[in-house]
């Protein structure tokens, strides 16, 4: 359950105010109309739909409609049972028991049982890049058709939170898929939609699953969980890579909803009486990533000098994104938001201090390479402005602009001779510390950091939330103080919705149950 901090209350009030004026408001006032096909202009299409291999947003969005996991996230991104009736954690935090919902059918008509669940987890542990979550599993047990038990070797206080992940989701598949190689499954889930026609690079259709039984313990949709009622016959994802084409499709009525609009293009839709542009928060957080195993930024003080020189306001302005300032690696209002204690390292904008820190670091004009790419203009423009800020503080900066694939690969591998780059993290700030861990270590290439290692050990070891929050506070402080990552902003997602598409809920991804066409 989320706490109503001032920030969260303000956001809620703002949303409420928007809803009263926006044409989205009648969602609550009208009875849903049945039928029709929602046309969704999406920026690209999935390459594959094996949930256990899926990390890209376009894949996950389709998968969220077709498949369901045992545990998923509600509208506040907290863990809630989906295919599990409920869940029970043993006192020692090692055994997790999931009573399964009865009568849940796969799209091929078979009923889901614990054998399917077990097969899914076994395959996951073999093929999925997210399999580290299951590394400590001692055994899976299926005492009967409707009970699934996972036993771990050691206590894991956040195991349930790990199972709710929407990235490489633990979507339940029929046991027949157990030995299918990675990315080669039949797309058969239990979700409220099933896969229809799919022409790669062109379009993909998900059709209403007439045999779907929604959970009856909720009043309506709630994030990925709750009561999922489908009013439309189908949703057609049209893949329109060009943002101009997506805007044109909204203007001509060839699309009912679109996403990934650059801010300047979204503005073209203002004043259109058939379409409403919306910016959805929370979406992603932008960071500067500082390579801590590459000279000269392997020197903590050099990294800190970079952070001290950063003027976040100018970076946001340059990025041209709908972005908000927020010092934290999580969102205000969330369980792990630790208040202003960790705010001191944000937006310091103090080139003089940075110059002093550089001197103390023994910096001698060594080249600092800023790498970015041509594919994402917000990244490139932030890096170009950052270069000027760092030069003003006396750093010898070289800008290296490449393509996104090279840039991203270099960030992951640590190769390419870069010192600073920039990217956005979308699911990690929402999902919390356990999801941050890989990125915190991998992107800045952290080596031998005892503060982080100890804090993470503490984080996993306590069943008490307050201990875990305290551990996270240390982790966040170390990342920001050590300038492994420098926070830039919270970026919103610019979308547009036809005024006669009702029931839209602002969420990290677009979810089509509970939506209907008023025509």
Binding part of the chain for another protein, among 88-96, 137-145, 225-233, 240-248 by CB under 8 A, reads: 240-248
Q: What is the 3-state secondary structure (H, E, C) of 161-193?
A: HHHCCCCCCCECCCHHHCCCCCCCCCCCCCCCE
Does residue 460 sit in helix, strand or coil?
helix
**Residue 439 binding another protein, by CB under 8 A:** yes
210: closest CA among 19, 380, 34, 386?
A: 34
Query: In this chain, which of 87, 121, 159, 168 binds another protein, going by CB under 8 A?
Result: 168
Give CA 313 to chain center in angstroms.
Answer: 24
**Residue 177 binding another protein, by CB under 8 A:** no
**Residue 200 binding another protein, by CB under 8 A:** yes
- CA separation for the pair 13, 10 (Å, rounded): 5
Query: In this chain, which of 90, 413, 464, 465 binds another protein, going by CB under 8 A?
Result: 413
**Residue 453 binding another protein, by CB under 8 A:** no
Assess contact for 112 and 104: CB atoms under 8 A.
yes
**Residue 251 binding another protein, by CB under 8 A:** yes
**Residue 487 binding another protein, by CB under 8 A:** no
Assess contact for 290 and 445: CB atoms under 8 A.
no
Binding part of the chain for another protein, among 206-214, 242-250, 282-290, 335-343 by CB under 8 A, reads: 242-250
| Residue 172: CB minimum distance to another protein, A | 20
Quote the strand ranges of 249-376, DSSP E: 257-258, 275-290, 323-324, 367-373
**Residue 203 binding another protein, by CB under 8 A:** yes
> Site map for another protein, 100-139, x if CB under 8 A?
----------------------------xxxxx-------
Assess contact for 97 and 104: CB atoms under 8 A.
no
Q: Give me 436's structure tokens.
A: 């941050």
- CA separation for the pair 316, 288 (Å, rounded): 12
- CA separation for the pair 187, 384 (Å, rounded): 43
Q: Give me 420's structure tokens.
A: 């600073």
**Residue 403 binding another protein, by CB under 8 A:** yes
| Beta-bridge mates of residue 140 | 150
**Residue 435 binding another protein, by CB under 8 A:** yes
Does residue 366 sit in helix, strand or coil?
coil
| Residue 516: CB minimum distance to another protein, A | 24
Binding part of the chain for another protein, among 52-60, 214-222, 294-302, 497-505 by CB under 8 A, reads: 52-60
**Residue 330 binding another protein, by CB under 8 A:** no
| Residue 124: CB minimum distance to another protein, A | 12
> Site map for another protein, 253-282, x if CB under 8 A?
-x----------------------------
Query: In this chain, which of 238, 371, 421, 422 binds another protein, going by CB under 8 A?
Result: 238
- CA separation for the pair 322, 262 (Å, rounded): 9
35 — alpha (psi -120 to 50), left (phi > 0) or beta? left
- CA separation for the pair 168, 191 (Å, rounded): 16
**Residue 92 binding another protein, by CB under 8 A:** no
Of 347-386, binders to another protein (CB under 8 A) are 375
Name the one residue in this structure whose structure tokens are 């010898």.
Answer: 396
**Residue 293 binding another protein, by CB under 8 A:** no
Q: Which residues of this chain interact with another protein, rule CB under 8 A?
A: 47-48, 53-56, 128-132, 167-168, 181-184, 199-203, 238-242, 244-245, 248-249, 251-252, 254, 375, 402-406, 408-410, 412-413, 415-416, 427, 435, 438-439, 442-443
């Amino acid at each position: 359950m989320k706490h109503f901090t001032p920030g969260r209350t303000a956001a809620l009030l703002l949303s409420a105010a928007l809803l009263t004026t926006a044409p989205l408001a009648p969602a609550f006032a009208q009875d849903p109309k049945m039928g029709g096909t929602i046309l969704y202009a999406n920026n690209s299409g999935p390459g594959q739909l094996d949930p256990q291999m899926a990390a890209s947003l376009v894949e996950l969005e389709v998968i969220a409609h077709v498949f369901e996991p045992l545990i998923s996230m509600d509208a506040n991104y907290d863990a809630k049972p989906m295919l599990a009736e409920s869940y029970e954690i043993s006192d020692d935090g090692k055994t997790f028991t999931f009573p399964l919902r009865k009568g849940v059918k796969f799209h091929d008509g078979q009923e889901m049982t614990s054998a399917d669940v077990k097969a899914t987890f076994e395959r996951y542990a073999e093929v999925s890049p997210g399999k580290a979550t299951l590394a400590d599993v001692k055994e899976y047990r299926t005492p009967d058709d409707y009970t699934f038990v996972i036993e771990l070797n050691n206590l894991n206080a956040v195991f349930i939170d790990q199972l709710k992940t929407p990235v490489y989701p633990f979507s339940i598949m029929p046991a027949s898929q157990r030995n299918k190689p990675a990315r080669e499954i039949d797309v058969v889930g239990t979700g409220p939609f099933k896969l229809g026609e799919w022409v790669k690079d062109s379009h993909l259709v998900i059709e209403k699953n007439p045999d779907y039984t929604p959970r009856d313990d909720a009043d309506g949709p709630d994030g990925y969980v709750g009561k999922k009622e489908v009013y439309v016959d189908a949703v057609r994802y049209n893949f329109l890579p060009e943002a101009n084409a997506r805007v044109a499709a909204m203007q001509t009525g060839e699309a009912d909803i679109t996403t990934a609009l650059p801010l300047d293009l979204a503005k073209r839709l203002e004043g259109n009486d058939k379409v409403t542009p919306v910016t959805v928060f929370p979406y992603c957080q932008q960071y500067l990533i500082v390579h801590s195993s590459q000279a000269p930024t392997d020197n903590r003080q050099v990294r800190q000098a970079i952070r001290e020189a950063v003027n976040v306001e100018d970076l946001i302005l340059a990025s041209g994104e709908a972005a908000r300032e927020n010092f934290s690696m999580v969102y205000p209002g969330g369980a792990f938001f630790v208040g202003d204690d960790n705010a001191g390292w944000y937006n310091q904008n103090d080139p003089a201090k940075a110059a002093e820190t550089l001197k103390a670091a023994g910096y001698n004009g060594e080249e600092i390479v800023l790498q970015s790419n041509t594919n994402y203009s917000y990244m490139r423009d932030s890096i170009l402005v950052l270069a000027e800020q760092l030069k003003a503080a006396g750093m010898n900066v070289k800008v290296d602009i490449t393509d996104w694939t090279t840039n991203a690969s270099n960030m992951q591998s640590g190769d390419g001779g870069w010192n600073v780059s920039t990217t956005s993290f979308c699911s990690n700030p929402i999902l919390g510390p356990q999801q941050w861990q890989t990125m915190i270590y991998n992107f800045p290439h952290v080596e031998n950091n005892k503060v982080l290692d100890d804090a993470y050990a503490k984080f996993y070891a306590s069943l008490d939330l307050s201990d875990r929050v305290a551990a996270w506070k240390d982790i966040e402080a170390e990342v920001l103080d050590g300038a492994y990552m420098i926070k830039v902003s919270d970026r919103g997602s610019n979308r547009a919705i036809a005024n006669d598409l009702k029931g839209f809920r602002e969420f990290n991804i677009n979810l089509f149950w509970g939506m209907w066409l008023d025509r």
